[in-house]
Amino acid sequence: MAWRIVVGLKDGVKDARGERVRREIKEHLGYDLERVQTLDVYTVDAELSDSEVEQAAAGPFSDPVIQEAAINRPLASGFDILVEVGFRPGVTDNTGRTAKEAIQYITGRRFSADEGVYTSTQYLLTGLKDKEVAEKIAKDFLANGLIQRWTILSADELDPKTGVPVTVPKVVSDSTPTVNSIDLNVSDEQLLDISRKGMLALSLEEMQKIQQHIADPQVVAIREKVGLGAELTDVEIEALAQTWSEHCKHKIFSAKIEYEDENGNKETIDSLFKTYIVGATRDIREAMGDDDFCLSVFKDNAGVIEFTDDWSIVFKVETHNSPSALDPYGGALTGIVGVNRDGVGTGMGARLIFNTDVFCFASPFLEKELPPRLLHPRRIFEGVVEGVEHGGNKSGIPTVNGSIVFDERFAGKPLVYCGTASIMPRMLNGKPCHEKKVQVGDHIVMCGGRIGKDGIHGATFSSEELHEGSPVTAVQIGDPITQRKMFDFLIIARDRGLYSSFTDNGAGGLSSSIGEMAEDTGGFEMHLDRAPLKYSGLQPWEILISEAQERMSLAVPPENLDAFIQLAKDMDVEATDLGNFTDSGYFHCLYEGKTVSYLSMEFLHEGVPQMVIPAKWQLRNLSEPELAAPQDLNVELQKLLGRLNICSKESVVRRYDHEVQAGTVIKPLVGVANDGPSDAAVFRPMLDSFAGVVVSHGICPNYSDIDTYHMMACAIDEGLRNYVAVGGNIDHVAGLDNFCWCDPVKSEKTPDGEYKAAQLVRANKALYDYCVAFGVPLISGKDSMKNDYQIGDTKISIPPTVLFSVIGKMADARKAVSMDVKRPDDLVYLLGDTHNELGGSEYYEEKGALGANVPKVDAASALLRYRTLNKAQDEGLIASCHDLSDGGLAVALAEKAFAGGYGIKVSLNRVAADAGMREDQILFSESQSRLLVTVHPENQAAFEALFKGQSCQHLGKVTIQPELLVSGEKDKILISTPIDLLKEAWQAPLREM
Amino acid sequence: MPKQVKAIVIAGNGTNCEREVAFACKLAGADVSDIVHVAELLAGRVKLDDYHFLNLAGGFLDGDDLGSAKAGANRLLHAKIAGSDETIADQIRRFVAAGKLVMGVCNGFQLMVKMGLLPALTGESKQSCSLTFNDGGRFEDRWAWLKVDPESPCVFTRGLDAVYLPVRHGEGKFVTDNKGTLMQLEQQNLAVVKYADADLNPTMVYPDNPNGSEASIAGICDPTGRLFGLMPHPEAYIHRTHHPRWTREDMPEEGMGLWMYQNAVRFIREELLK
């Protein structure tokens, strides 16, 4: 039978969670409730005795000091409306899993496969009578209908004896596993129909390619030998669809692009990826020669570079945009724990050291009516932040660097970038740790979580297919603890040399992980029926492509299999032998001994036809705005400081543990009150060494509206100048590109595809040009190419956005520099020239203008400046250093001053600016490669000597008077504002988020 | 040869800070500082009896899914060590009875309180205090000043007046089951560390008191002073580069958190192993 255990706080104990929910209902939806109380509900569906249930309720389920528990009766009282929110069947319920384990420890008996614990939360709303409003609160705030269900009862509807009726959200399935074959000997129209209905996302050309393959009599003859026929099975077609998906094959980046520039010059680009990304790294590595520090690029789950003589750094950044749009919490959580598996699953395995996160949202204060199915940006903000918080904090990985970019178009699709760094020994058991190879005969072992219908077909689903009793398929919820246990186990297995290769199970599930690993040997044989399932009723093809989380696939040599499985068992991790890697040349799956797939590895991996995409670049007819000279620059500066793209993100940063592992040397928040904005993070991964990993990023989608070439160049420069600002070594740094684009393929739905494709080409050209110019190799990256919203006639496309992440090292983290001014009378210098480059700037946007003069990067002078800065840092000449970015010089001056708790007095006349620039233009221009540093007076001569011949302007000094004082022509005071006021303007907007 | 000081840090099931805690023990002078997965203890391959200083480190045991450290406490209380009828809790009780030291930090403190190891006013393992959701309802990472009670019997804070350490938790609000418990904690000087303002006066005002803890309590010890738990992280400030303002202030190489580990090692060497 099922028991309901309800746990609530005792009288007089503050319900902080309920109070937070009350506040957020008011902020999100505008309903001002009197009170919200919360209760936890455990529905225990298991054979237990009364006393065992009582013990669980009194013990692990409730806290005797602050809580009380009720079994099969309500605890709720003194409310108007009760809303109970629980998961739909099949949705990952981490708390339910922990509760089940807790009962098992008490009874000493394991639950049977049918038994389980399901959790839900009761919200008791007071000050609300209208059930329709409660429904809205449930739907729009308390729950997500994709993964959760809810019950609403008014006080008089709650049965005083039994409470809320028992619901057991168990997955019930009576389907028996079957394998269907698909007749592809059909018309083109029917081929497309098969692709559409099966959510295969294969184009006609791709379907035809498969049709031709299976029509080959030689192929059929071989198939017949293993008991298959002239038709593909559903297992095979699903495997092909996964392997050939945009997500796995990056078809747009591999496409042939017919590009035409603004002058009508035409060129054919055979793969953007190979030409510009791989090409840049190849050329840079050649130029570096013996100094090449790259160890593994593009071929593994993450890139690997040298760190110290004994250790290497591994870095990867992923996006998880579509899932986060549907379920912000689960999407972001899955994003971060998913990229963690990439970090761990590189080479023979690495230990995670930190996470980074960058989000692109619409304003949380957006007041417009949103088109159907879009969640309000505030809800996305809150959910995503919480997801990354749980994913990072619970996994014990500090989140050390990130940012949030706001643009209204991100209402159509939020961008959620999750990055992770890890370290591995240079050598493991006598071999380079960043290399791995599956051997013929190795066992296929899957470990970690079990397989369910989670994430089948990614996000290409519609809610209409969800109904009570059917598991949710596309939305996943990560489980950091199951994953942490698996990582603890894997690192021991690695050091004991128990496996020869491994990788994570991400997109495409086993189909992709085993399919890719088997490229080493040229085939495999896998028994799908041996895979452990969360619940029965999965079809063989579902087992193959499920994206259920927290799983890794390994190649374990036969002689180590027993030791591997035993270690897993000891450490409470499930590991299952699914078959063997072979050199048969075939993707061979069986179910209960019967062959269900027999695809040639070569066709699977090389068969996908190359796309051809037209691209045509046109200069947009843009001009600079004619703005009246501002009346009061104090007001302008405060307005800019309060803009969402510039203001403090402290409320978010504090929710991330940025110090666990005790390695964070430059933290995200620095300065006299621990609240100034760091440019980059410095992290010391080995506790007994001062070698530091430096990480930062650049992202500037604002400039894409003018020219994506310069957007890309600026993102690279921004990443690098943040990196050098804290002391990162400019000659030992690598980049990662994460492209998020709107659909660039011309079609009925995308009539402007040629322009969007040209934007993509231009960004890639800049990526090549500037990485080569700076000597920064790319080591890994990812693209997400369909960031559009389209329902009916409404289409929202995100601005083309590239996150350029930067990772490198500094030999001695004790030489790191923070951005806050340190002492009165220190000298303030600006490095780099200021041009009339306000196109796409925050200042213009504040004025409602775009402009035309997008900032351009002069890599040669920037590189010299960055190298010289490194030298000055090494010699201890720099007291503080801050990069100039959004909002330009004025914002950087303000941030440096209030972070340090002192004033700054500077003269604008001394800025090396283009002739004829107005004062507001000099203050707010976003010219690149500029840094603002302070220097102790005793170091002036040495500092100036180092920068002799470079653009280095002595603007003024740090003052004890806590005021930002900027003077212009004839010493006219342009800005004089106390730093407290500036700080307040900067902190206010997102303080309460 | 003098006897060795042996520290153990339990890892696994969501413990996260085991490496830095083990390093802090080592740096403080422990001769042995082992990180041991809880599975090793449950398998009976490692015994607590072989150590002097038990560290329960920060993290999220079982995700804190049933409330912070609740499921973790349940495991230690109920899971049997292979081939015996003993639990890890039994081993810990024997460890304590042998006059040894236990320190719990953050999730480790929550674990000690929820197992009833702290404050153990009557000497029996019954939970009388708790750590629950911060008044702000959110996880927060920020640094806080702690005022040390100079009269406390706590072994770990001997000679200390105040320390500056990071707090990193969502469930750090210290509460007691009744006024009597709180009164006893205060009267016996067991409320070892309290959140304090810039003048080092205990405070209830956010953010100096980051979570709304009763009587500003950040950490407590048992009447013997050998069992100590606190929410802030001493292992996160053992070198000056851990300090959030090390780039702007002159400060000693050693961080304030290290002092607590040094006190522990000194006690073991000079009093336990003498």
DSSP A764-812: HHHHHHHHHHHT--EEEEEEE---EEEETTEEEEPPPEEEEEEEEEES-
Structure confidence at residue A474 as a pLDDT band (50, 70, 90)? low
8 A C-beta contact, residue A213 and residue A231: no
8 A C-beta contact, residue B213 and residue B172: yes
Strand partners, A118: A43
Q: What is the mean pLDDT of residues A697-704?
A: 97
CATH number at residue B235: 3.40.50.880
Q: What is the mean pLDDT of residues A746-762?
A: 93
What pLDDT does A470 receive? 40
8 A C-beta contact, residue B251 and residue B244: no
Measured between CA atoms, the residue of chain B closest to residue A13 is: B175
Strand partners, A572: none
8 A C-beta contact, residue A624 and residue A853: yes
A798: its two tokens: 């995100």
* C-alpha–C-alpha distance, residues A236 and A243, integer Å: 11
Instruction: Classify B267 as helix, strand or coil.
Output: helix
pLDDT in tens, A635-658: 999 999 999 999 999 999 999 999
Question: Crossing angle, helix B70-78 and helix A94-107, to 10 degrees?
Answer: 20
User: What is the tally of helices (H) and strands (E) in chain A?
Assistant: 30, 43
- The distance of Cα A302 from the centroid of its chain, to the nearest Å, equals 14
- Mean pLDDT, rounded, of chain A: 94
Residues 6+ apart with CB under 8 A from A293: A305, A306, A732, A734
Strand partners, A178: none
The answer, yes or no, to whether residue A477 has pLDDT greater than 90, is no
pLDDT in tens, A310-330: 999 999 999 998 888 888 998
On whether A905 is known to bind a ligand per the annotation, the reply is no
A437: its two tokens: 């190879």
What pLDDT does A212 receive? 94
The answer, yes or no, to whether residue A886 has pLDDT greater than 50, is yes
Convert B131-167 to b/e letters by CB count within 10 Å (16 or more is b). Answer: bbbbbbbbbbbbbbbbbbbeebbbbbbbebeebbbbb
8 A C-beta contact, residue A271 and residue A256: yes
pLDDT in tens, A143-198: 988 889 999 999 999 999 989 998 898 888 778 899 999 999 999 999 999 988 88
- B247 contacts A17? CB cut-off 8 A: no
Taken in order A932, A938, A942, A944, is the CA torsion positive or negative? Answer: positive
What pLDDT does A201 receive? 84
How many C-beta atoms surround the C-beta of residue A744 within 10 A?
26
Report angle CA A794, A800, A805 to the nearest 5 degrees.
140
* C-alpha–C-alpha distance, residues A742 and A757, integer Å: 9
Q: Indicate if ipTM > 0.90.
A: yes
* C-alpha–C-alpha distance, residues B32 and A300, integer Å: 38
pLDDT in tens, A229-240: 999 999 999 999
Structure confidence at residue A824 as a pLDDT band (50, 70, 90)? very high
Taken in order B165, B167, B168, B174, is the CA torsion positive or negative? Answer: positive
Q: Is B1 within a domain?
A: no
Q: Is B190 within a domain?
A: yes
* C-alpha–C-alpha distance, residues B68 and B133, integer Å: 9
What pLDDT does A549 receive? 86
Q: Is B186 within a domain?
A: yes
In angstroms, the Cα distances linking A489 to A580, A755, B37, B39 are 22, 49, 10, 11
Q: What is the mean pLDDT of residues A254-283?
A: 96
DSSP A108-140: S-PPPTT-EEEEEEEEEEES---HHHHHHHIII
8 A C-beta contact, residue A458 and residue A547: yes
The answer, yes or no, to whether residue A459 has pLDDT greater than 70, is no
How many domains, chain B? Answer: 1
- B20 contacts A687? CB cut-off 8 A: yes
* C-alpha–C-alpha distance, residues A389 and B60, integer Å: 13
Residues 6+ apart with CB under 8 A from B30: B5, B6, B7, B53, B261, B265
What pLDDT does A460 receive? 36
Closest CA to B44 of B96, B100, B107, B87: B87
Half-sphere exposure at residue B118, Cβ-oriented, CA atoms within 13 angstroms: 33
8 A C-beta contact, residue B143 and residue B245: no
- A65 contacts B130? CB cut-off 8 A: yes
Q: Is B37 within a domain?
A: yes
Half-sphere exposure at residue A959, Cβ-oriented, CA atoms within 13 angstroms: 17
What pLDDT does A447 receive? 96
User: What is the tally of helices (H) and strands (E) in chain B?
Assistant: 7, 11
Interface probe for A, chosen from B61, B247, B250 (most Cβ of A below 10 Å), is B247
pLDDT in tens, A587-608: 999 999 999 999 999 999 999 9
Q: Long-range contacts of range A150-158, CB-CB < 8 Å, 24 or more positions apart?
A: A150/A83, A150/A84, A150/A85, A150/A86, A151/A82, A151/A83, A151/A84, A152/A81, A152/A82, A152/A83, A153/A81, A153/A82, A153/A84, A154/A80, A154/A81, A154/A82, A154/A129, A155/A79, A155/A80, A155/A81, A155/A82, A158/A74, A158/A76, A158/A82
The answer, yes or no, to whether residue A140 has pLDDT greater than 50, is yes
A449: its two tokens: 């979580």
- B140 contacts A655? CB cut-off 8 A: yes
The answer, yes or no, to whether residue A463 has pLDDT greater than 50, is no
Give B 182-211 residues with CB within 8 A of chain A. Answer: none
8 A C-beta contact, residue A647 and residue A620: no
Convert A283-296 to b/e letters by CB count within 10 Å (16 or more is b). Answer: ebeeeeeeeebbbb
Instruction: Classify A735 as helix, strand or coil.
Output: strand
Q: State the residue for tokens 């393929």.
A: A745
Which residue among B63, B137, B241 sits closest to A17, beta carbon to beta carbon? B137
The answer, yes or no, to whether residue A468 has pLDDT greater than 80, is no
Instruction: Classify A688 as helix, strand or coil.
Output: coil
Q: Which domain holds residue B182?
A: 6-272
- A570 contacts B137? CB cut-off 8 A: no
Q: Please provide residue B183's backbone torsions phi and psi, each rounded to the nearest 5 degrees.
A: -65, -45
Q: Active-site positions of A?
A: 247, 320
What pLDDT does A723 receive? 98
pLDDT in tens, A545-582: 998 888 999 999 999 999 999 999 999 999 999 999 99
How many C-beta atoms surround the C-beta of residue A369 within 10 A?
5
Percentage above 90 pLDDT, chain A: 83
Closest CA to A146 of A196, A200, A97, A89: A89
Structure confidence at residue A749 as a pLDDT band (50, 70, 90)? confident
Strand partners, B7: B33, B53
A325: its two tokens: 């749009």
Tell me which chain A residues have a C-beta less than 8 angstroms from the C-beta of B63: 94-95, 98, 394, 479-481
CB pairs A-B closer than 8 Å: 187
> β-strand B193-196 against B173-176: which pairing, if any?
unpaired
> β-strand A827-831 against A952-959: which pairing, if any?
antiparallel
Q: What is the mean pLDDT of residues A508-514?
A: 92
Give A 565-604 residues with CB within 8 A of chain B. Answer: 570-572
What pLDDT does A469 receive? 42
On whether A442 is known to bind a ligand per the annotation, the reply is no
Helical ranges in A608-649 per DSSP H: 633-641
Strand partners, A255: none
Residues 6+ apart with CB under 8 A from A117: A42, A43, A44, A45, A46, A93, A96, A97, A99, A100, A103
For chain A, what's the residue count? 993
Q: Is B93 within a domain?
A: yes
Give A 398-427 residues with CB within 8 A of chain B. Answer: none
Closest CA to B23 of A689, A312, A394: A689
- Quick check: A100 contacting B, CB < 8 Å? no
**Lowest mean pLDDT segment, chosen from A536-540, A838-842, B32-36, B59-63:** A536-540
Closest CA to A677 of A983, A266, A324: A983
In angstroms, the Cα distances linking A347 to A297, A446, A491, A554, B172 are 11, 17, 12, 12, 39
Residues 6+ apart with CB under 8 A from B207: B140, B142, B144
Structural domains in chain A plus CATH codes? 2-157 (3.30.1280.10), 186-249 (no CATH)
- Quick check: A656 contacting B, CB < 8 Å? yes
pLDDT (tens, 9 = 90+) of chain B, 274 residues, equals 578 999 999 999 999 999 999 999 999 999 999 999 999 999 999 999 999 999 999 999 999 999 999 999 999 999 999 999 999 999 999 999 999 999 999 999 999 999 999 999 987 888 999 999 999 989 999 999 999 999 999 999 999 999 999 999 999 999 999 999 999 999 999 999 999 999 999 999 999 999 999 999 999 999 999 999 999 999 999 999 999 999 998 899 999 999 999 999 999 999 999 8
Tell me which chain B residues have a C-beta less than 8 angstroms from the C-beta of A67: 67
Q: What is the mean pLDDT of residues A696-711?
A: 97
Tell me which chain B residues have a C-beta less than 8 angstroms from the C-beta of A653: 141
How many C-beta atoms surround the C-beta of residue A951 within 10 A?
17
